[in-house]
Amino acid sequence: MKDFGIEVDFSSSLPFYKQIYNQIVFALNTGRLKPGDKLYHITMLAKKLGVSVNTVSKSYRMLELKGYLAKVKGKGAYITKKK
């Protein structure tokens, strides 16, 4: 798992799930994350950021719907090439 410095700004009006989504997409676009990199498990990232599991789960679902993320049952979530 690659730590790419994701953080949540608790004073921002932008919802936490969008902040997480935006930071992961930004890390991918700037090369800090590459296709094949494994992301933190939802519960680990939620604990690290101090947000709920549902918040991180919503971010991951958005990433998956947009083609940035693939979940592999029993293995985790991985960055993919955008479709």
pLDDT in tens, 12-51: 999 999 999 999 999 999 999 999 999 999 999 999 999 9
Residue 4 inside a domain? The answer is no
The boundaries of the domain holding residue 61 are 16-79
Q: Give the residue carrying structure tokens 């604990």.
A: 47
| Reported pTM | 0.89
Residue 2 inside a domain? The answer is no
Residue 75 inside a domain? The answer is yes
Residue 9 inside a domain? The answer is no
DSSP reduced 3-state for 47:
helix
Count structural domains, the chain. Answer: 1
Residue 10 inside a domain? The answer is no
- Name all contacts of 67-71 with Cβ < 8 Å and 24+ positions apart: 68/24, 68/25, 68/28, 69/24, 69/39
Six-digit token string for 75: 């293995």
Closest CA to 79 of 7, 30, 46: 30
